[in-house]
Amino acid sequence: MNHIISVMVENKSGVLAKVAALFSRRGFNIESLAVGTTDDDKVSRITIVVNSDESSIEQITKQLHKLINVIKIQKLQPDYSVQRELVLIKINTENKSRAEILEISNIFRANVVDVTKGTIMLELTGNSSKISAFEELLKPYGIIEFVRTGMIACSRGKKS
Amino acid sequence: MGKISGSKMLLKCLREEGVEYIFGYPGGKVIPIYDSIYDEKKIKHILVRHEQCAAHAADGYARATGKTGVCMATSGPGGTNLITGIANAYMDSIPIVAITGQVSTIEIGTDSFQEADITGITSPITKHNYLVKNVKDLPATVKEAFYIASTGRPGPVLIDIPIDVQNALIDENIKAEINLPGYKPTIKGHLKQIKEAAVKIYNSSKPVIFAGGGVVSSGGNEELTEFARLSEIPVITSLLGKGSFPESDELSLMMAGMHGTKFANLALTEANLIIGIGVRFDDRVTGKLSEFAKHADIIHIDVDPAEIGKNVKVKIPIVGDAKNVLADLIKEYKTIRDEKGDASRQEWLKLVHKWKKDYPVSYFNNSHSLKPGYIIEKLHEIVKENAIICTEVGQNQMWAAQFFKCSKPRTFISSGGLGTMGFGFPSSIGAQFGCPDKMVFDIAGDGSIQMVSHEFATAVVNKLPIKIILLNNGNLGMVKQWQELFYKKRYSETIVRGCVDFVKLVEAYGGVGIRVKKKEEVEKAIKDAISIDNLVLIDFHIDPDENVFPMVAPGAPIKEMMVLGKEKK
């Protein structure tokens, strides 16, 4: 099962390497990873999606807590949090398919961010399943490049 | 305000931490620090002969004294040579601070001469590490490093200092403050959990205590002893738990595990409650995990929450320092006992004592061969509890653990988790510096001692009267034992007889060598060695076929022990 862990860390060099190394050393696989600063410039947030069973996720969380630069860890429940990924997709439009592609992207509320004679680039945000569905629909037209960020997530309501 | 160099500041910070000794080895990228050491009055630098031994000596110093040990090496190979010592301290949760030199900040990442990414390399084997890129961060870094190393679950911390940072100037009176928002170890146990545990313990008919290194490192041995006697619960220890409870006590079942006592393993198997204190339920103790303690609920007390539930299922977890939790547990247990009277578990105690009588740790005590068990029993008889025993790794270590009955904490120093051959002698150097008034022994094998024999020089130069009890069987014995038992006696690369004259070797370094081939000479040799105020190596030519028993075969449940067979004539 996929678990979302949001890890607040000190914004110092080498911290991401320590977090990532911990996953490999303890034998856990990272499905996706996203890192960014927060409103406090001394703190970064690392959002990690990891596929594991319940007891392993507990062990991962405990081991993460042991890293000195880790300030706080939140396990986000899928139903009580908002998850988003961003994707940039470059598609071939040589075979006069641009209109159809635009129609699909309208349904998904994707943005056109670049157009050339033979290509179009779309930008879409959404949760994993929306992005995967979008990808499936566009595949037949010929995806040239598909660039997807790791998931970021935020808990719903007042809790932080 | 005056300005001083980073290297002078480093020594100032180390003085403020109360550092007495730095075990180290100079090199190109620590010359500024060594230049400052040249004028240093308070801290003594001990020159070892190999950086790995600097880390082991710092480790031995820490284990013997409870203070944080310090080692130092240059960049590149100096740092990489420290690694085994750092990993060893990490596995056994020993507080050391390792300081390494680094190429200058502008050269980092260019593969310059003697450059190694030592913070990257040591990340998985340190509790934390630092690369100090700006001299103004140095004082706070040192302060944090010592704080992290010695608090919570202790462990090694490495500080990597580029040479330009050592030379850079810094305001002498700069204030260093600890800023660790993510580090708050839980020391006090949760009272509700402790109360629940006390009730559970009181009501249990077949409880055992399983105590480990956490009891020793928290200084909780007196609390453990009080609690065990109060509740009349037998105490088993891990290898690192030796000394946390007097092994001469009626309630002591000594060490459990692969080469533990049969009565300890039986007690762990048959108990219906195991109170694990400062232990991590390592595979050498549990044997086949699915068969381990099948009838028992487990109460697990540990300062590191990640240890709880890692290997075994736990009924009542208590996160906290062993000493603190035990003190609270004693109070809670007393309250219950005062109300209800002593817990009734006489039958269990009778059974445990019967096992203890039926399955003693023994060897064939005959006249025609020299047995390691005999030597260590004699040693114990002579020095009692007034010595620090360091061990190497392998058969010598297990014989030491089985036959040397420890009664005080910090008197049995051994590489547990990493199982590092060559740990014993350098750790005895650290222990002797830390405890100058105590006798320090290194129980060694002929394999292990050859990994670190160059440190004889360090001992002799510093006039350390360490005694090496060399159990010389001409084998890499523990591996040979496995080959004998599990690999059809195919002794691949484990018979190393007759290539070294150890008496001459130690004499070459200025120490004293004594050779013993007969049982009758053992006592006199040990007494003679003690009377000599110098490094002494006693080369005991022991029975080369002697193996360590009892033994749990790898992957077997711990109740199934191979025991001493019939004596060969």
pLDDT in tens, B177-223: 999 999 999 999 999 999 999 999 999 999 999 999 999 999 999 99
Q: Given an 8 Å threshold on Cβ–Cβ distance, is B182 in contact with A9?
A: yes
Strands of B327-466, DSSP E: 387-391, 412-413, 439-445
Smallest Cβ–Cβ distance between A21 and the set B124, B183, B310 belongs to: B124
Q: Of A83, A87, A86, A85, whose CA–CA distance to A154 is shortest?
A: A83
- Tokens linked to A107: 């349904």
What is the reported pLDDT for B24? Answer: 98
Main-chain phi, psi angles of B441, to 5 degrees: -120, 145
Q: Are B44 and B36 in contact (CB under 8 A)?
A: no
Q: Where in chain A is the domain with CATH 3.30.70.1150?
A: 81-155
What is the reported pLDDT for B210? Answer: 98
pLDDT tens string A98-154: 999 999 999 999 999 999 999 999 999 999 999 999 999 999 999 999 999 999 999
CA-based nearest distance A39→chain B, Å: 17
CA distance B141 to B98: 12
What is the reported pLDDT for B569? Answer: 43
- Which residues of chain A approach chain B closer than 8 Å at the C-beta? 9-10, 13-14, 17-18, 21, 25, 55, 58-59, 62-63, 65-72
What is the reported pLDDT for A26? Answer: 83
Count of alpha carbons within 13 angstroms of residue B91, beta-carbon side: 17
What is the reported pLDDT for B499? Answer: 83
Q: Which residues of chain B have pLDDT under 70?
A: 1, 566-569
Smallest Cβ–Cβ distance between B182 and the set A14, A62, A71 belongs to: A71
Q: Given an 8 Å threshold on Cβ–Cβ distance, is B131 in contact with A14?
A: yes
Per the document, the length of chain A is 160
CA-based nearest distance B128→chain A, Å: 7
What is the reported pLDDT for B212? Answer: 97
CA distance B425 to B440: 10
Interface probe for A, chosen from B90, B121, B123 (most Cβ of A below 10 Å), is B123
Smallest Cβ–Cβ distance between B306 and the set A13, A63, A69 belongs to: A63
Q: Given an 8 Å threshold on Cβ–Cβ distance, is B123 in contact with A18?
A: yes
Q: Where in chain A is the domain with CATH 3.30.70.260?
A: 2-76
Please give the CATH topology (third level) of the domain spanning A81-155. Answer: Alpha-Beta Plaits (3.30.70)
Main-chain phi, psi angles of B562, to 5 degrees: -80, 130
Q: Of A42, A48, A146, whose CA–CA distance to A92 is shortest?
A: A146
Q: Of B327, B359, B300, whose CA–CA distance to B220 is shortest?
A: B327
CA-based nearest distance A24→chain B, Å: 10
Beta bridge partners of A142: none
**Chain A residues within an 8 Å CB radius of B304:** 66
Q: Of B119, B91, B96, B103, whose CA–CA distance to B19 is shortest?
A: B96
- Which residues of chain B approach chain A closer than 8 Å at the C-beta? 119-120, 123-124, 127-128, 131, 148, 180-183, 304-306, 309-310
Smallest Cβ–Cβ distance between A68 and the set B119, B128, B306 belongs to: B128
- Tokens linked to A58: 């507990």
Q: Given an 8 Å threshold on Cβ–Cβ distance, is A68 in contact with B310?
A: no
Report the CATH architecture of A2-76. 2-Layer Sandwich (3.30)
pLDDT at A79 over 80: yes
CA-based nearest distance A46→chain B, Å: 15
Smallest Cβ–Cβ distance between B182 and the set A17, A62, A70 belongs to: A70
CA distance A74 to A100: 42
Helices (H), B290-321: none
pLDDT at A29 over 90: no
| β-pairing verdict for B157-162 and B128-131 | parallel
Q: Given an 8 Å threshold on Cβ–Cβ distance, is B123 in contact with A63?
A: no
ipTM: 0.87
Report all structural domains of chain B as residue ranges with CATH numbers, in order of start.
3-171 (3.40.50.970), 191-358 (3.40.50.1220), 372-541 (3.40.50.970)
